[in-house]
Amino acid sequence: MVKNKKDTVVFFDTTLRDGEQSPGASMTFQEKLLVAQQLAAMNVDIIEAGFPISSEGDFESVKSIAQQIKGPVICGLCRANTKDITTCWNAIKYSKKPRIHTFIATSDLHIEKKLQKTRQQVFDMAVNAVKLAKSFCDDVEFSAEDASRSDVNYLCSIVEAVIEAGATTVNIPDTVGYSIPSEFGKLIATIKQNVKNIDKAVISVHCHNDLGLGVANSLAAVENGARQIECTINGIGERAGNAALEEIVMAIKTKPLFYPVNYNIKTKEIYKTSKLVSNLTGVVVQPNKAIVGVNAFAHESGIHQDGMLKDKRTYEIMSPQDVGVPESLLVLGKHSGRHAFFKRLKDLGYKLESNVMEDLFAKFKLLADKKKCVFDDDINSLVEQSVSGVQEVFTVDYVNVTSGVGVIPTATIRLVKTVKNKKEILQEAACGSGPVDAAYKAIDKITGIVVDLEDYTLRAVSSGEDAQGEVNVKVKYDGATYVGKGMSTDIVEASINAYIHAVNKIVIMHGGKK
Ligand code: KIV
Ligand code: ZN
């Protein structure tokens, strides 16, 4: 295997930017920080933290990530204009390793129809953008949006000019996922051969998944000289998503003869990162998803199980431990003490303050009273809920629901509203089409926040007949989507917790005005 620096493929994670652009995947400020911390723990090389000009909230979260996250390069996205680039710099400049990522479209379709400019104008804008970015920061990335549908000679001329202007990474996106691997690999080879100063920059690729080829195209690019891959956790992103980080890194790890390159990702952190992103965004991972789906390492048929018992290599091309799928079936219950619980937290990779651990232990005890066995998944969910940083303005105090055949579903709900340590008890009743609908209507009456319920999913966390129900809701309020998650052994309670979780996010986002 080649071991020099040039042959390291660096991983540029854009879960917090392109990933967050996928419908309904928006995250709160605290949630973005949690994801950034975990990306750093997984050792990604570059975190694209957001698009600072797009909103005040995005600016603030990019800035906080730049201030707090150590290790990876922290990158912000900006269009090729002065205001975008300056704002981007003002957000990322706090990082020890800041990067400005500026972009403009280079395909005739985008130039003429979207930008309504000429090729020459776009060329000049690209060069000026890179020069301005370079005046702030040494590390500058330029992206030629829709590169794969651009005239290749024009694309090469822009790439050469931006490198001359100071770009240290040149990104070739397959913005609409239109390429196929042989074609995309050839494009990268052409750029490598024809751009005179290409050795002064890293070639990067950014492949969307509209034809399901994002990962294959990224790997074809690596074979042809790309040394940065832009990707997201679980492949989330615009439309059909982006190339999935976990799939690319495991392909490189599993096929070293085909990809004789180094990488810095700690693959054992993959599973935990995938779970975190899925839980926080509410974008569920399909069971048969490569690497991180629940079935990725499950063997059902008798022949396969027999083979596995004789030699795991018969049906496993990589080991689940390599991607951090928890091996342990250690189960905690109501007799488990503090020591066992804290040890389990540590084994699961959590490093938490002692007051947070104590608080979690109290929640664990309540849960263990309700269900016989507390599994790792239950513990992960408890931790994610506790540290997601969503301040609890409304908490549930009392619930009474009636439903049945020939009964009008009715709910009486009492919430405690806490603002600046002042508590107010609020109570309402409502009827609905079912117990959950009735409860949600009663909550709407109390909070005065009327939302559109866009999505509701219920699934069992962990196993056993007393498994906890986990409810994920997506609600729309004032044009934005909020994700809420709730858990309980009682599914109505889980549904109410999820709704309240989303409502609390709305209150926080609206500065407590509600
Ligand atoms: O898909 C795309 O082209 C992008 C660029 C901004 C890199 O996301
Ligand atoms: Zn993209």
Atom of ligand 1 nearest to the CA of 173: 3
Ligand 1, residues at Cβ distance < 6 Å: 18, 103, 143, 145, 171, 173, 175, 206, 208
Distance 175 CA to ligand 2 centre (A): 6
Whether residue 253 lies inside any domain: the answer is yes
DSSP structure string for 80-104: SSHHHHHHHHHHHTTSSSEEEEEEE
pLDDT value of position 514: 45
Whether residue 307 lies inside any domain: the answer is no
Residue minimizing CA distance to atom 1 of ligand 1: 175
Q: Cα angle at 441 between 437 and 445, to 5 degrees?
A: 170
What single-letter DSSP state applies at residue 113?
I
Distance 322 CA to ligand 1 centre (A): 30
Q: Which residues pair with 99 in a beta bridge?
A: 75
Distance 64 CA to ligand 1 centre (A): 23
For a substitution probing ligand 1, which of 15, 107, 175 has the most ligand atoms within 8 Å of its CB?
175
For a substitution probing ligand 1, which of 18, 78, 150, 242 has the most ligand atoms within 8 Å of its CB?
18
Atom of ligand 1 nearest to the CA of 17: 8
Stated as kind and residue range, the H or E segment containing 70 is none
Distance 269 CA to ligand 1 centre (A): 26
Whether residue 315 lies inside any domain: the answer is no
Where a domain ends, among 260, 281, 302? Answer: 281
Residues 367 and 409 in one domain: no
Atom of ligand 1 nearest to the CA of 143: 7
Residues 121 and 257 in one domain: yes
Distance 341 CA to ligand 1 centre (A): 44
Distance 209 CA to ligand 1 centre (A): 12
Residues 467 and 369 in one domain: no
Distance 40 CA to ligand 1 centre (A): 22
Provide the residue range defining the domain that includes 493. 394-510
Distance 494 CA to ligand 1 centre (A): 38
Provide the residue-wise pLDDT of the chain in tens; the chain has 514 residues.
444 445 999 999 999 999 998 877 788 888 999 999 999 999 999 999 999 999 999 999 999 999 999 999 999 999 999 999 999 999 999 999 999 999 999 999 999 999 999 999 999 999 999 999 999 999 999 999 999 999 999 999 999 999 999 999 999 999 999 999 999 999 999 999 999 999 999 999 999 999 999 999 999 999 999 999 999 999 999 999 999 999 999 999 999 999 999 999 999 999 999 999 998 888 889 989 999 998 888 877 778 878 888 888 998 999 999 999 875 445 688 888 888 888 888 877 777 888 889 989 998 998 888 877 787 778 877 887 776 666 778 999 999 999 989 899 999 999 999 888 889 999 999 999 999 999 999 999 999 998 999 889 888 776 666 777 888 898 988 877 788 888 888 899 999 999 998 898 888 777 544 4
Residue minimizing CA distance to atom 5 of ligand 1: 145
Residues 212 and 342 in one domain: no
**Residue 112 maps to which CATH number?**
3.20.20.70
Distance 14 CA to ligand 2 centre (A): 8
pLDDT value of position 389: 60
Whether residue 312 lies inside any domain: the answer is no
Residues 360 and 405 in one domain: no
Which ligand minimizes its atom distance to the CA of 101? Answer: 1
Q: List the alpha helices (DSSP H) in 299-375.
A: 302-310, 338-347, 354-370
What single-letter DSSP state applies at residue 317?
S
Residue 103 to residue 172: CA distance in whole angstroms:
10
Structure tokens at 180: 């196929």
Which ligand minimizes its atom distance to the CA of 146? Answer: 1
Say if residues 7 and 226 touch (Cβ distance below 8 Å).
Answer: no
Whether residue 290 lies inside any domain: the answer is no
Residues 401 and 271 in one domain: no
pLDDT value of position 1: 41
CA dihedral (192, 197, 201, 205) positive or negative: negative
Residues 221 and 262 in one domain: yes
Instruction: Give how far the C-alpha of residue 275 lies from the chain's centroid of Cα atoms, to the nearest Å.
Output: 9
For a substitution probing ligand 1, which of 100, 103, 231 has the most ligand atoms within 8 Å of its CB?
103
Residues 355 and 398 in one domain: no
Which ligand minimizes its atom distance to the CA of 241? Answer: 2
Residue minimizing CA distance to atom 8 of ligand 1: 18
What single-letter DSSP state applies at residue 314?
G
Whether residue 59 lies inside any domain: the answer is yes
Distance 179 CA to ligand 1 centre (A): 15
pLDDT value of position 511: 58
Whether residue 461 lies inside any domain: the answer is yes
Least Cα distance to 237 among 177, 323, 292 occurs for: 177
Residues 234 and 108 in one domain: yes
Whether residue 99 lies inside any domain: the answer is yes
DSSP structure string for 467-487: PEEEEEEEEEETTEEEEEEEE
Least Cα distance to 137 among 162, 159, 168, 163 occurs for: 168
Residues 113 and 35 in one domain: yes
For a substitution probing ligand 1, which of 51, 84, 145, 217 has the most ligand atoms within 8 Å of its CB?
145
Counting the structural domains of the chain, the total is 3
pLDDT value of position 331: 67
Which ligand minimizes its atom distance to the CA of 48? Answer: 1
Which ligand minimizes its atom distance to the CA of 75? Answer: 1
Where a domain ends, among 386, 403, 435? Answer: 386
Where a domain ends, among 386, 405, 427? Answer: 386
Residues 269 and 408 in one domain: no
pLDDT value of position 85: 98
Residues 457 and 493 in one domain: yes
